[in-house]
Amino acid sequence: MIKLLEILRFTGCGIGVFLAYYYGENPEEILRIMTPWFVGSVAGLSAVERFFFSKEAATEKGFEKGSNYQRQNAFWFLAVAVTSLTIFIAGWNEYANLSLVCVFCTFLLLSAANHLYSMIADRNTRWQNVIRPLLTVLLTLVFWGPVSAILFKIK
């Protein structure tokens, strides 16, 4: 089930990029479409993973099982996923999306650093620890175009 959720995360992000660039006519629309797909796919499915498959997820990543940290992390993921959907459905402006994307990407970059640390310091070379830093950089780069265009008013 953990591998299926991982595939669904990748698929959701890919769909989000396609839809954003297919239907988005400017950076604001691209970001508005892409954000709930990325955040919903990554954070929403991570919340599902941690709430319902926490032991399997911990085993897959080589981390401790059943900790309060896992539950707290799941609540954070759920909160950010719900916020993303709220911003999209309510049609809030691009600065709401920018704020969410900045928080989300910052968290992911810090989380990737934690996975990298675990890989080096603890010799935890599970797949998630090896690939997470690369995937996080790629995910953050996907947001770079519309985010920088909005921040620097590039059309």
pLDDT of 140 higher than 80: yes
Cβ pair 132, 110 in contact under 8 A = no
Over its C-alpha atoms, the chain yields an Rg (Å, rounded) of: 16
Give the model's pLDDT for residue 155.
Answer: 59
Give tens-digit pLDDT for 87-130. 999 999 999 999 999 999 999 999 899 889 988 999 988 887 78
pLDDT (average), residues 20-40: 96
pLDDT of 54 higher than 90: no
The DSSP letter of residue 64 is -
Amino acid at residue number 8: L
Structure tokens that stand for 89 in this block: 């459905």
Structure tokens that stand for 105 in this block: 């990407």
Torsions phi, psi of 110, nearest 5?
-65, -40
Can you tell me which residue has the tokens 């089930």? 1
